[in-house]
Structure 1
Amino acid sequence: MRVGVDAACWSNKRGYGRFTRGLLNAFLQSNTKHELVFFVDSQTAGDGDLPSNVRTVVVNTGDRPTDAASASDSRSIKDLLAMTKSVAGQSLDAFFFPSVYTYFPAITTGKIILGVHDVIAEDYPDLVFPDKKHRRLWALKGWLAHKQANYIMTVSEHAKKGIVRHFGHNQDRVFVIDEAPDPVFTTLALDKVDRSVLSRFGLTVDSRFLIYIGGINPHKNLPMLVQSLSEIRTKPGMQDVKLVVVGDLKDGFTPGVSELKSKIAELHQDDAVIFTGFVKDEEVIHLLNVAQALVLPSMAEGFGLPAVEGAACGIPIIATQNSPLPDLLRDGGIFIDPNSVTELTGALSVMLGDSIRRDEMARVATAKAQQLTWQRSASQMDMMLSTVAGKS
């Protein structure tokens, strides 16, 4: 098959960008049956990190699509039409959008495969979009994208159930391709941990801290995490515990920063919460390897890749039940009701106060994470394309 790919999210730092790079890099290394053609905006092409072993069609655009498609912005009609025209002139058997975020109307005789990583925007629109205008724009884009799509790709059986529930797709036309931790996420011996990375954030290898990695969106439920942190720090021997928040505070999808900082100030936890900003993977692994646990208390996750990356670095997980993580990392963490401060506080107490149980969960989590690889995901993509090629 000759497959067009929307590669506009290639350079994006968030989960769907990581998924696109991890999956397609692995697929390009192993694929022998299908020809890929990348369609990419001029801004992303200018970053210079696209793979060299794939044909690329560069489209002149006014804005980077992943910025313009953020929760508080929208893409211009001119840019959307430019992407549409670029595909219309190509002979393709299929066109693959790794993420609906950068969807545009694709005029092609090929079958369209739409990547939908979750239904968080549908389940929690008030938490994802800042106003009615952007909620309506998202609903319109979603309606058109799902109407045009012949097949859906998603990242977990959990997400698949939500997609079928919301959009009514036949289950046999929804494919699951797992996410996976990049090879850089691995356990390190204590003497291999880079102390200079820790010291940049006021930490040492002996510091007791919890870590969160991801966007600072309202649906990530971070104010509740700060609430639990403040309660834990009142307990004997827990006053030194800190929370490290790793994520780009200027990202277009992060309208929850002000609310989070207000909660920190309200609970007098300014000395307990460390904002690192964006940290490269090669550095964040040193934080992960010495953290007590990674905490992902989101209202929902389609996959929850940061939790799997943390597990790959040898730490246990506290994560939302409303995700595939209770299955992916079973017995490798504590999975909580995202509406329950009591459950979250109890989970923090276990991770910080019961080293035997914590170490056992860490061992299991690491073993589970090691089962997920991008090579496996590439095989799932190959099977998806072969199935699409054989269907009407």
Structure 2
Amino acid sequence: MGLRHAAARRLRARAHHALLARHAVRRASRPRLRDPRLPVRRLLRDDLQGPEAGDGVTLGVRLGVDGRELRPGVRTGIRRYVTEVLRAASRAGWPCVVYGDGSTVVDETLPGVATRVLAGRLTQVWDQVRLPRALREDGATVFLSPYYKGPLAAPCPVVLTIHDLFFIGYPGRRRRLHDATLIRLARLYARRAAAIVTDSEHSRREIAARLGIDPARVTVIPVALGPEFRAPAPPAPGRDGIASSYILYVGNFRPHKNLPRLLAAYAALPAALRAAHALVLAGGDRAGRPLLEARARELGVADRVVFAGLVADRDLPGLYAGATVAVLPSLEEGFGLPALEAMACGTPVVVSNRGALPELVADAGLVADAARPEEIAGALARVLADGGLRAELRRRGLARASLYTADRTAGRVLELLARVAGSPR
């Protein structure tokens, strides 16, 4: 019996030493850039010695940001939003820590911005265990989530960004149990948040009603145009398969984008207008394309519909500028960024009467009923046939787009974060 106990003790000792050795190797081999504490502490020290408040810096704000959208190859409005906020916070002299996973890449030229990689594949563990612990260790005074969710046990106020609630049920999807769970979680996150940012008054009303919160807790800060849209773009030289005159749609091919009705509207145009103007569908996804190709064949317009695929950010302004008209016929939009991008490029727009699109476009575009292809066709025909109308819509669209600058949007987000950081938890 004594020999067994001695052997067991030796085995436990060896296992303990092996565990310590592995831990030491991991700590020694961890890249310094990924070391979560040293950069953060240095940033906090620099903040205390940095510019005075009179220089536009809000002293004492230490910002944490969920940076999981900052991955190579990702081109989303959320990525743009996070990037612009980080740039503005860096210019303001705020120390920032971007929390991400192994694929997160942050612009290393931004002064005062550090990256902290949190391990863990399970999203809920990352959100609700590792992230709150890191925020506490780093002394964050406010945390910005670009999503509808955030850490429930955060040691600081949390600001959520809810662009829309379309992730909870949309046309063509039947997942009632899944959606019921999502709405309960969204309500919990929203009620725990110190503040919520959204893109439009339409989304603000919907968030307040569906999540059961006071509308005063939801701040409308519209999405900003990307840097590639800050100067007028010349029309792009012809891409493969794209005619010199075309109607342009930019976006994904999900059911709420209402593209079958757009194809029906295109088929309803007079033959002369179809002959002069192709329909270009840019963006999309492989899963949705076969159904749209089949629908175009059924309508007899397959030879006039061009699937342009994904378009790089740098090429988008030229593609918009070359279009005779851009169209966004969605059944629901929390904002409608492609319509704004088109207006910024001087391209007339036709949008649906759903969601935030009428609010975004105002009097700078034509609005048609999303459920009536013939009405969409009528609006497109008016723009295609009337040069004077196109010129007026171009003028109004450029003026409208000039209101949506990245500096203005990011500045308003920083004002909200500073106010929340100073409020009691």
Q: Normalised by the shorter chain, which TM-score bucket?
A: 0.7 to 0.9
CA distance in 1, matches of 2:299, 2:347: 27
1:60 paired with 2:119, answer: yes
How many equivalent residue pairs? 360
Please say if residues 10 and 50 of structure 1, whose CA atoms lie closer than 8 Å, have aligned partners that are also in contact.
no
Cα deviation, residue 21, structure 1: 2.4
CA distance in 2, matches of 1:218, 1:51: 40
**Larger CA deviation: 78-87 vs 168-177:** 78-87
CA distance in 1, matches of 2:193, 2:307: 40
CA-based RMSD? 2.5
1:31 paired with 2:71, answer: no
2:331 to 299, 323, 330: 299
1:10 paired with 2:56, answer: no
1:120 paired with 2:182, answer: no
Please say if residues 88 and 106 of structure 1, whose CA atoms lie closer than 8 Å, have aligned partners that are also in contact.
no
Percent pairwise identity: 29
CA shift digits 1:54-74 (9 cap, x unpaired): 011112344xxxxxxxxxxxx
Please say if residues 150 and 158 of structure 2, whose CA atoms lie closer than 8 Å, have aligned partners that are also in contact.
no
Specify the SS of the correspondent of 1:331: coil
Q: Which amino acid aligns with 2:143?
A: F
CA distance in 1, matches of 2:171, 2:136: 36
Specify the SS of the correspondent of 1:285: helix
1:247 paired with 2:291, answer: no
Q: Which runs of 5+ in 2 are unaligned?
A: 1-60
Q: Which amino acid aligns with 1:347?
A: A
CA shift digits 1:129-170 (9 cap, x unpaired): 564464345334423322332211111222111111111222
CA distance in 1, matches of 2:261, 2:109: 41
Specify the SS of the correspondent of 1:44: coil
CA distance in 2, matches of 1:264, 1:20: 38
CA distance in 1, matches of 2:136, 2:171: 36
Q: Which residue is equivalent to 2:190? A: 146
1:40 paired with 2:100, answer: yes
Q: Which residue is equivalent to 1:68? A: none
Q: Which amino acid aligns with 1:201?
A: G
Q: Which residue is equivalent to 1:278? A: 310
TM-aligned CA distance change 1:78 to 1:257, over 3 Å: farther
Q: Which amino acid aligns with 1:167?
A: L
Q: Which residue is equivalent to 1:171? A: 215
CA distance in 1, matches of 2:354, 2:102: 37
Please say if residues 143 and 158 of structure 2, whose CA atoms lie closer than 8 Å, have aligned partners that are also in contact.
yes
TM-aligned CA distance change 1:121 to 1:341, over 3 Å: same
Q: Which residue is equivalent to 1:98? A: 146
Match runs of 1:1-392 below 5 Å: 1-11=61-71, 12-25=74-87, 27-32=88-93, 34-45=94-105, 49=107, 52-53=110-111, 54-62=113-121, 76-80=123-127, 81-83=129-131, 85-87=133-135, 89-100=137-148, 103-122=149-168, 125-127=169-171, 129=173, 131-132=175-176, 134-185=178-229, 188=232, 192-195=234-237, 198-203=238-243, 207-232=244-269, 234-250=270-286, 256-392=288-424
| TM, length-normalised to structure 1 | 0.83
CA distance in 2, matches of 1:60, 1:220: 36
TM-aligned CA distance change 1:302 to 1:290, over 3 Å: same
Cα deviation, residue 94, structure 1: 1.7
Cα deviation, residue 116, structure 1: 0.4
Please say if residues 127 and 217 of structure 1, whose CA atoms lie closer than 8 Å, have aligned partners that are also in contact.
no
Please say if residues 221 and 298 of structure 1, whose CA atoms lie closer than 8 Å, have aligned partners that are also in contact.
yes
CA shift digits 1:352-378 (9 cap, x unpaired): 111111111111101110121010012
Please say if residues 236 and 322 of structure 2, whose CA atoms lie closer than 8 Å, have aligned partners that are also in contact.
no
Cα deviation, residue 118, structure 1: 1.2
Q: Which amino acid aligns with 1:91?
A: G
CA distance in 1, matches of 2:281, 2:385: 21
Please say if residues 245 and 277 of structure 2, whose CA atoms lie closer than 8 Å, have aligned partners that are also in contact.
yes
Q: Which amino acid aligns with 1:30?
A: R
**Larger CA deviation: 48-57 vs 153-162:** 48-57
CA distance in 1, matches of 2:135, 2:188: 17
CA shift digits 1:32-62 (9 cap, x unpaired): 4x432211111223xx656643011112344
Specify the SS of the correspondent of 2:70: coil
CA distance in 2, matches of 1:237, 1:317: 17
Please say if residues 14 and 215 of structure 1, whose CA atoms lie closer than 8 Å, have aligned partners that are also in contact.
no
CA shift digits 1:51-104 (9 cap, x unpaired): 643011112344xxxxxxxxxxxx65555454455445442222111122xx35
Specify the SS of the correspondent of 2:302: coil
Cα deviation, residue 308, structure 1: 0.7
Q: Which runs of 5+ in 1 are unaligned?
A: 63-74
TM-aligned CA distance change 1:152 to 1:23, over 3 Å: same
